Chains A and B, each alone.
Chain A
Amino acid sequence: MSFDVHRIRQDFPILSQPQHGKPLVFLDSGASAQKPRAVIDAMTRCMETAYANVHRGAYRLSEVATDAYEASRGAVARFINAPDAREVVFTRNSTEAINLVAHSWGRGVMRPDQAVLISELEHHANIVPWQMLRDDRGNPLRVCRVTDSGELDMEDLAAKLADGKVGLVALAHMSNVLGTVTPVERVVALAHAHGAKVLLDGSQAVVHRRVDVAAIGCDFYCFTGHKLYGPTGIGVLWGKLEHLDRMPPFLGGGDMIESVSFEKSTWAKPPARFEAGTPAIIEAVGLHAAIDYVNAIGMPAIEAHERALVDHAMRKLSDVPGLTLLGRAQDRGGVFAFALDNAHPHDLSTLLDRAGICIRAGRHCAEPLHTRFGLEQGTARASFGLYTTPEEVDYLAGALVKAREFFA
């Protein structure tokens, strides 16, 4: 199928809703993406025709719902090329997936003297759980530097792994601020050579690149459904079965046990062990529809569209007077954080909103990264989805020039 962005836009009902009387130019997909009709319909259909609790009822409707829920797990496994669907754990979002690893691997399997290595470009979701682990169990937290161009400092990474005391490397596959795509295969090779496991936060990457966890060779990978054109309330943790098998549960409750008595309960096998309570059934169905939608367009086509868009945006934004782009990584996706010399990000965002443009302003849950680049006041961020057009980028660039005049 050829990639026709204008046809694709028609799949997203919200894109035809004007804002302040202007066409909606939605450039905040990095925070959360809009939903195609296919996702909306799949969730409605589930509730109208195939809904009951899963894994519990010996009646047909419950079996149908269980099949749909498990089919979503299978679709996720194929989407990231996981060898086994049992390695796919449904969570609420990336944040919960990372907390799950910090709890069940960090407290359950790692020794307290093993360090966790993160980087300066992490989202708070991949910082705070490790600080909590450190404060709770003592596991030292190491932070890999980021270069001025916004890339992982691989020398620093090697240096911080060298003593063999790092138990886990936890890194973003793609930065939600700089757009930088991290060289994950090299990171994994380096980490494994020094005895460390690797967790990749794929919240952004999975939207923009084809992800193959088997080829990457990492130990854990997570992402969140709502950025991948799916619903909120569903995320994914993938982990190698041999790791998941060794890990104690995260939350306790129904559906995650083999047997319960008041003396002792025994844990179910993964993934059920990590899915306590009634899961996000409807959302899992929605995520399945989102993956089918993305697959039907084709990840290579989406990537090609985005590469062209990124090149275009680099040129257009560089032409805006007074604009500083944060990060100039070689390998990057459609996320652009920037500062205008005479407009604070919040003023800018309020202004652009009146022109129909949604961008994000602030520090994008990456405060240490902004501190690293001396931009404590935050940045404005435009992030693209598969429905973003070059015309929208042009409109943004024009609006930025006008905004600068407005504040002059």
Chain B
Amino acid sequence: MSGNDFFGDLRDLYQEVILDHGRKPRNFRRLEDADSTSRGDNPMCGDRMELFLKMTPDGHIADAAFQGRGCAVSMASASLMTETVKGKTPQEAQALGTAFRDLAMTGQCPTCAASLEDAMERLSPLSGVHEFPSRVKCATLAWHTLNAALAGAKEASSE
């Protein structure tokens, strides 16, 4: 039996994009000149990340990067998030976060504005996580941490 059959429908959760970003997270570095940083903790499973944001003078996210440890889902989610929020305003990034949490919890995104469509398309490989209630927090930790960083808070928890 191949690994695929043996583990049932798990390729729905662990799509190639997720495995790839989980193994080789993008923007996985510190930003020494960050304008804001925040730490995210998932106390239940020990996932931990630090998020760095650099803003443009007119208030857009110029750069986003992170460091930390966690499962493939949380690493991939953080990696994809840093890619999608670059160039966005804080309001746009927060709206994207809200839409993403809907996606992670229900597999759908009723609140998605048309303006978010492109970004949501890139995040959609994570929608499979809604079938795994105990893993939803892994996917949303990065976005909680982003909200904290945008609000100027030093810490976020997925609890």
Number of interface residues of B (CB under 8 A): 26
Instruction: Give the 3 A-B CB pairs with smallest separation, nearest first.
Output: A344-B71, A354-B8, A346-B71
Query: Contact between A399 and B6 (Cβ–Cβ < 8 Å)?
Result: yes
Determine if A347 is an interface residue (Cβ-Cβ < 8 Å): yes
Q: Quick check: which of B9-17, B25-33, B98-106 contacts chain A, the rest being far away?
A: B9-17
Query: Which chain A residues lie closer than 8 Å to B138 at the CB level?
Result: 346
Query: Which chain A residues lie closer than 8 Å to B19 at the CB level?
Result: 407
28 A-B residue pairs with CB within 8 Å: A343-B72, A344-B71, A345-B71, A346-B71, A347-B22, A347-B73, A350-B134, A354-B8, A355-B6, A355-B7, A355-B8, A362-B44, A362-B45, A362-B46, A367-B46, A376-B69, A377-B46, A377-B70, A378-B45, A378-B46, A402-B6, A402-B7, A403-B3, A406-B3, A406-B4, A406-B10, A407-B14, A407-B72
Query: Contact between A347 and B71 (Cβ–Cβ < 8 Å)?
Result: yes
Determine if B135 is an interface residue (Cβ-Cβ < 8 Å): yes
Query: Which chain A residues lie closer than 8 Å to B7 at the CB level?
Result: 351, 354-355, 402-403, 406
Residue of A nearest to B42 (CB): A346
Query: Which chain B residues lie closer than 8 Å to A361 at the CB level?
Result: 45
Q: A368-408: which have CB < 8 Å to B? A: 370, 376-378, 399, 402-403, 405-407
Determine if A86 is an interface residue (Cβ-Cβ < 8 Å): no
Known contacts A342-B23, A378-B46, A407-B72; 8 further A-B pairs (Cβ under 8 A): A350-B10, A350-B13, A350-B134, A354-B8, A355-B6, A355-B8, A361-B45, A378-B45
Q: B68-113: which have CB < 8 Å to A? A: 69-73
Residue of A nearest to B72 (CB): A347
Query: Which chain A residues lie closer than 8 Å to B132 at the CB level?
Result: 350
Quote the shortest CB–CB distance from A193 to chain B (angstroms). Answer: 39
**Please, how many angstroms separate the alpha-carbon atoms of A343 and B134 in the complex?**
17
Query: Which chain B residues lie closer than 8 Å to A45 at the CB level?
Result: none
* Proximity string of chain A (219-237) to chain B, C-beta cutoff 8 Å, 1 when within and 0 when not: 0000000000000000000
Determine if A332 is an interface residue (Cβ-Cβ < 8 Å): no
Residue of B nearest to A376 (CB): B46
Q: A281-304: which have CB < 8 Å to B? A: none
Query: Contact between B10 and A351 (Cβ–Cβ < 8 Å)?
Result: yes
* Proximity string of chain A (155-179) to chain B, C-beta cutoff 8 Å, 1 when within and 0 when not: 0000000000000000000000000
Q: Residue A20 contacts which of B8, B23, B71, B134 (CB distance < 8 angstroms)?
A: B8
B-side residues, CB < 8 A to A, are: 3-4, 6-10, 13-14, 19, 22-23, 44-48, 69-73, 132, 134-135, 138
Q: Residue A346 contacts which of B9, B10, B135 (CB distance < 8 angstroms)?
A: B135
**Please, how many angstroms separate the alpha-carbon atoms of A350 and B19 in the complex?**
14
**Please, how many angstroms separate the alpha-carbon atoms of A406 and B47 in the complex?**
22
Quote the shortest CB–CB distance from B17 to chain A (angstroms). Answer: 14
Determine if A123 is an interface residue (Cβ-Cβ < 8 Å): no
Q: A334-354: which have CB < 8 Å to B? A: 342-347, 350-351, 354
Query: Contact between B45 and A346 (Cβ–Cβ < 8 Å)?
Result: yes
**Please, how many angstroms separate the alpha-carbon atoms of A351 and B4 in the complex?**
10
**Please, how many angstroms separate the alpha-carbon atoms of A402 and B8 in the complex?**
12
Quote the shortest CB–CB distance from B11 to chain A (angstroms). Answer: 9
Quote the shortest CB–CB distance from B14 to chain A (angstroms). Answer: 7
Residue of B nearest to A367 (CB): B46
Quote the shortest CB–CB distance from B64 to chain A (angstroms). Answer: 23
Query: Contact between B8 and A350 (Cβ–Cβ < 8 Å)?
Result: no
Query: Which chain B residues lie closer than 8 Å to A407 at the CB level?
Result: 14, 19, 72
Q: Residue A354 contacts which of B10, B47, B48, B69 (CB distance < 8 angstroms)?
A: B10
**Please, how many angstroms separate the alpha-carbon atoms of A376 and B134 in the complex?**
20
Query: Which chain B residues lie closer than 8 Å to A405 at the CB level?
Result: 3
Residue of A nearest to B10 (CB): A354
Query: Which chain B residues lie closer than 8 Å to A399 at the CB level?
Result: 6
Quote the shortest CB–CB distance from A337 to chain B (angstroms). Answer: 14
Quote the shortest CB–CB distance from B159 to chain A (angstroms). Answer: 14
Determine if A103 is an interface residue (Cβ-Cβ < 8 Å): no
**Please, how many angstroms separate the alpha-carbon atoms of A347 and B47 in the complex?**
12
Residue of B nearest to A375 (CB): B46
**Please, how many angstroms separate the alpha-carbon atoms of A402 and B132 in the complex?**
21
Query: Which chain B residues lie closer than 8 Å to A378 at the CB level?
Result: 45-46
**Please, how many angstroms separate the alpha-carbon atoms of A403 and B1 in the complex?**
12
Quote the shortest CB–CB distance from B73 to chain A (angstroms). Answer: 7
**Please, how many angstroms separate the alpha-carbon atoms of A342 and B24 in the complex?**
12
Quote the shortest CB–CB distance from A126 to chain B (angstroms). Answer: 19
Residue from B3, B13, B47 having most chain A Cβ neighbours under 10 A:
B3
Determine if A363 is an interface residue (Cβ-Cβ < 8 Å): yes
Quote the shortest CB–CB distance from B48 to chain A (angstroms). Answer: 8
Q: Residue A377 contacts which of B3, B69, B134 (CB distance < 8 angstroms)?
A: B69
Q: A1-38: which have CB < 8 Å to B? A: 20-21
